[in-house]
């Protein structure tokens, strides 16, 4: 149609792309404040960035996209903001189902279910169920997520198996631990993106990002678009990943 802006192109071969991208979506509140808007407007605008990023990653056939939606520490925020975030999450699960299905995306939740309102869990579970037969990209939503809590839960599960005689302590290795994390079955992230210029990991996928390439942008999450994602992917493609070995 006349007036439409052509989508940005990414001139990278598929073998140069990461299999798994993880994103710390930061800066919603700061973006809103710069626009003289309430903080919740930033969260609302951030949903558009989630949609654009999900669709573009699915188009590029990225295997896994993990988004840090709500950390276990975010419950410390004002109750009005928490209530809005829960409403926004519930709304997202309902309104984005068609987009998720059209893009052949599979959804799963990473995190603890406690403290999340029942109606939010109901809509989340329904989206997970509906998308379970899709065959494309996994969209992992880290909700009420903290990496230390994830590791604690994994250790507890392993301990239960030892007590039940299903596992011996001497059998525990990195693979066993990985199999008991929320991300079991997923490859570790190749690329970790953080917005809003912060140089922190913020208790996100501590085990899984041991060898991830890090890329930070000064843009706040509501400003993150396909072109910014492409910048991150081009930067990733120039990295030489040695995994502790020597460059070849």
Judge whether 74 counts as a catalytic residue. Answer: yes
Q: What percent of the chain has pLDDT over 90?
A: 90
Annotated catalytic residue within 36, 74, 103, 160: 74
- What is the pLDDT at residue 1? 45
Nearest residue to 105 via CA among 143, 133, 67: 133
Annotated catalytic residue within 26, 140, 144, 190: 26
Q: How confident is the model at residue 11 (pLDDT cuts 50, 70, 90)?
A: confident
How many angstroms separate the CA atoms of 57 and 79, rounded?
A: 33
Structure token pair of residue 68: 């840090």
Judge whether 26 counts as a catalytic residue. Answer: yes
Spell out a b/e string for 44-61, using b for 16 or more CB atoms within 10 Å of the CB, else e.
bbbbebbbbbbbbbbebe
pLDDT, tens digit (0-9, with 9 covering 90-100), for 103-160: 999 999 999 999 999 999 999 999 999 999 999 999 999 999 999 999 999 999 999 9
- What is the pLDDT at residue 2? 46
pLDDT, tens digit (0-9, with 9 covering 90-100), for 52-82: 999 999 999 999 999 999 999 999 999 999 9
Q: What is the pTM of this model?
A: 0.93
pLDDT, tens digit (0-9, with 9 covering 90-100), for 188-225: 999 999 999 999 999 999 999 999 999 999 999 999 99
Which residue blocks in the chain are alpha helix, DSSP H? 28-34, 39-59, 79-95, 97-102, 118-131, 147-163, 174-179, 226-237
Sequence-distant (≥ 6) Cβ neighbours of residue 153 within 8 angstroms: 112, 180, 182
Residue 128 φ then ψ, to 5°: -60, -45
Cβ neighbour number for residue 184 with a 10 Å cutoff: 10
Domains present along the chain, CATH in parentheses: 17-145+189-237 (3.40.1180.10)
For the chain, give the number of residues.
248
Cβ neighbour number for residue 151 with a 10 Å cutoff: 15
Across 4-31, average pLDDT: 88
Across 171-193, average pLDDT: 98
Nearest residue to 20 via CA among 173, 194, 213: 213
Across the chain, mean pLDDT equals: 94
- What is the pLDDT at residue 240? 84
């Amino acid at each position: 149609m006349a007036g439409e802006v052509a989508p940005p192109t990414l001139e990278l071969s598929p073998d140069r792309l990461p299999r798994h991208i993880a994103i710390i979506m930061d800066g919603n509140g700061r973006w809103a404040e710069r626009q003289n808007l309430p903080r919740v407007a930033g969260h609302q605008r951030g949903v558009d960035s989630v949609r654009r990023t999900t669709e573009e990653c699915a188009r590029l056939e990225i295997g896994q996209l993990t988004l840090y939606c709500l950390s276990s520490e975010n419950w410390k925020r004002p109750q009005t903001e928490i209530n809005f975030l829960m409403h926004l999450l519930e709304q997202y699960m309902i309104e984005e189902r068609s987009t998720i299905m059209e893009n052949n995306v599979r959804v799963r939740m990473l995190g603890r279910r406690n403290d999340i309102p029942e109606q939010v869990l109901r809509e989340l579970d329904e989206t997970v169920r509906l998308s379970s037969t899709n065959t494309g990209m996994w969209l992992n939503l880290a909700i009420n997520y903290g990496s230390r809590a994830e590791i604690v839960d994994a250790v507890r599960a392993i301990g239960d198996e030892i007590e039940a005689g299903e596992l011996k302590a001497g059998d525990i290795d990195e693979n066993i631990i990985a199999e008991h994390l929320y991300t079991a079955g997923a490859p570790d992230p190749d690329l970790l993106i953080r917005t809003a210029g912060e140089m922190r990991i913020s208790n996100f996928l501590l085990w899984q990002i041991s060898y991830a390439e890090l890329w930070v942008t000064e843009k706040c999450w509501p400003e993150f678009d396909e072109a910014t994602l492409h910048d991150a992917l081009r930067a990733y493609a120039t990295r030489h990943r040695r995994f502790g070995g020597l460059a070849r």
